[in-house]
Structure formats: structure tokens, C-alpha cells
Amino acid sequence: MKPLGIGVIGCGVISDIYMKNCAIFPQIELRAVADMRPEAAAAKGAEYGVPAVTVDELLKREDVDIILNLTIPKAHVEVGLMALDAGKHLYAEKPLAGSVADGRRLLQAARAKGLRVGSAPDTFLGGSHQTARNLLDTGRIGRPTSGTAVMMVAGHERWHPNPDFYYAGEGAGPLMDMGPYYITAMVNLLGPVSRVVGLAAKGRDRRVIATGPRAGQEIPVETPTHVTGVMEFASGALVQIVTSFDVKAHRHTPLELYGTDGAMLIPDPNHFDGQVMLHDADWQAQPMRHAHGDGNYRGLGLADMAEAIATGRDHRASGALALHALDVIESLLRAAGTGRAETLTTSCDRPAPLPMGTAQGQIETMEMAQ
């Protein structure tokens, strides 16, 4: 297939891996970059050999088919609607939007124009998580009954030079930042969530930046920094979830899934690699038979969407999946405020699995093998 043109809006920290990986996947080709800071766009354009232009100029380019929105979460909807209004397909970093209502606006706007919306995370398409999906689908742990999803760190101010937005109200906090990885990974395995319960707390009111030119500067905390709850899946499985910026050390594994005949330990869903451990009679490391399991392949979901546009099939890292993950997050936070169980208002299908034994980058070959 002829590659679809990618235009990037937002040239911050996360943009490097996407721009680098555009060269890995034959389904996509980086065409131009833009940022509200012209110097940031100019630097990335020079580094990756593409034009650095204004946002308006990028949206008017005929060689750009998909806008890759890498802006901060608060700008996701505004930029996304601009892209759709310009007739471009949209793929966004997570979360899809700051609220379910805004996420619905994006999907409704896309449907009205016959355009696609996709969203990170796409790490569930990585080798380790596809290995876990295959083990589950082939019945290796029996019927899934329960599990855990744990992401607890001391806070992003330790490594990020400008961590303000992680703590600044709507669209911030550990659940909104990291929850999409853990929730999406579990939806990939178990299907949609039906209801949740939750509690939340704020460890402290201010944080100190530890690195970069602003090291030593204090920033305010305007959102809960420790959120815990239980997700009840439509299948009946119950999964405990904890996300925190208040924990200096722990020994929990990222994801665990328990079934009637066994259990699985599943690697960090913020990554594409890692070792899946299966227990039926004893714990055994499982061989990885899927591609994209030995590095950082952010952009795999974007490439899959590009191919899906060309071939007319559904894409895996879909707007519906991202909206459902956002609904889980919003419902957990709402439950933490009300003290009551919250029923979700969205649902989604489990994304199609990727077939085994395929070379990296060759999504088209994988699809033809199905």
C-alpha cells in the first residue's frame, strides 16, 4: 500500500519516538511538524528532515492524511476538532480527551465527516501483551475471574523538566496519566468494563521539580495523586486497580490475571516487551511469538490505523476503545467522590488480536495471515 502522510502537532518529549518510528512502518510517512513554539517545531523538523510549519499550514497540506496529536491533554480536543474539521483523520496521544463528554464530541465529529479517530496507548499490540492475549484466548488459565493492575511511583517531577500538567486539575493525576495503559491492557484481555467503585486521596499539596532548568521549583497539586478501585467487567471478572504518584517503593507486579485453571503475570503495559509468566502447575516463562516485543514501538497503533483506512477494516487502537478507557477513569474518579458504584455509559469490542510469527513493521502481512 502507498503510505499515508503523517503531520505531527506537538513537538514535546513524546514526539521523538513517534517521529523515529515513522521510518519503521511502511504504512506511514512523516510529512511535516508543527508546534505552538516555532523553535520546537524547527528543531524537530531539522532533526527528521521534514518541514516545520504553523498548525494552520499543516492542516492545509494535501500530503497529510492523518494528524498525530501530541499536544498536552488539555489541548487534545481543541486540536483534534481542528484536524477533523480540516478533513484529516486523527490519532492522539492518551488520554483521548479530558472528559467522556469531550471524547464523544471527537468521535461524533469524525463520524459526521467519515473520518477515523485512533488513540494511544498502542502498547497492548506489543509482543508481550499479544502473547498474554493468545494464552488467554487458547484457554491456558481457564475462565478469567479476577486480577490486579498496579502502577505506583513517587511522581513524575523526578524526571520530567516541566511536570506541571501531571498535577494541574482536569486531565491530570496518575489515573488519567497512566491508567489508560493498564485499563486498555485489561480491556484487550477481558473486554469492556460494566461498573466500578473507587477511592482517591492527595498525598501532598506541592511538588518539587528535581531536574532541568526549573530544578528546585515548587508546583501546586490540584488533583488526587493516589486512586484505587475495582473494575467489574461485563464478563464477570473483577480487577483491582491502583495508580499513584505517592509511593516510593513497592513489590507488586504491573498486571496479574487469575482464572479457573491458572494465572498469568503480565509485563508493564507502558512497554512493548517483557516476560509473560504462566502458572498452571508451576510458574513458567512463556516464549514470545509476536513481533514488536523488543523495544519501544509507539506508533504501531497509528500504522495499524493507516492500513485499516487503506483496506477498509477496523483499526485496533480505536477511538471507541480509548473513549471506553476514559469512561472507566472518569467513573472511578466519580465513584471516589460519591462513595457509590458507578455504571459505565460506554462499551467497546475487544480489539482483534495480531497473528503470531510476523516480522516487525509488517502489519499488512499479519492481517493477510488471519
The CA distance from 297 to 306, in Å, is 15
Q: How far is CA 69 from CA 26, 78, 190, 337, in A?
A: 20, 10, 28, 31
Phi, psi of 330 (to 5 degrees): -65, -40
**pLDDT for position 169:** 78
The CA distance from 27 to 161, in Å, is 33
Under a CB-based contact definition with an 8 Å cutoff, are residues 365 and 311 in contact? Answer: no
Catalytic residue, chosen from 20, 88, 94, 202, is: 94
**pLDDT for position 358:** 57
The CA distance from 157 to 270, in Å, is 18
The CA distance from 285 to 257, in Å, is 15
The dihedral over CA atoms of 328, 69, 106, 75, expressed in degrees to the nearest 10, equals 80
pLDDT (tens place) for every residue of the chain, 370 residues total: 899 999 999 999 899 999 999 999 999 999 999 999 999 999 999 999 999 999 999 999 999 999 999 998 889 999 999 999 999 999 999 999 989 999 999 999 999 999 999 999 999 999 999 999 999 999 999 999 999 999 999 999 999 999 998 999 777 899 999 999 999 999 999 999 999 999 999 999 999 999 999 999 999 999 999 999 999 999 999 999 999 999 999 999 999 999 999 999 999 999 999 999 999 989 999 999 889 999 999 999 999 999 999 999 999 999 999 999 999 999 999 999 999 999 999 999 999 999 876 555 566 544 433 3
For CA atoms 267, 273, 275, 277, the dihedral sign is: positive
Residues in the chain, how many?
370
Contacts of 15 (CB under 8 A, 6+ apart): 8, 33, 44, 70
Does 88 qualify as catalytic in the annotation? no
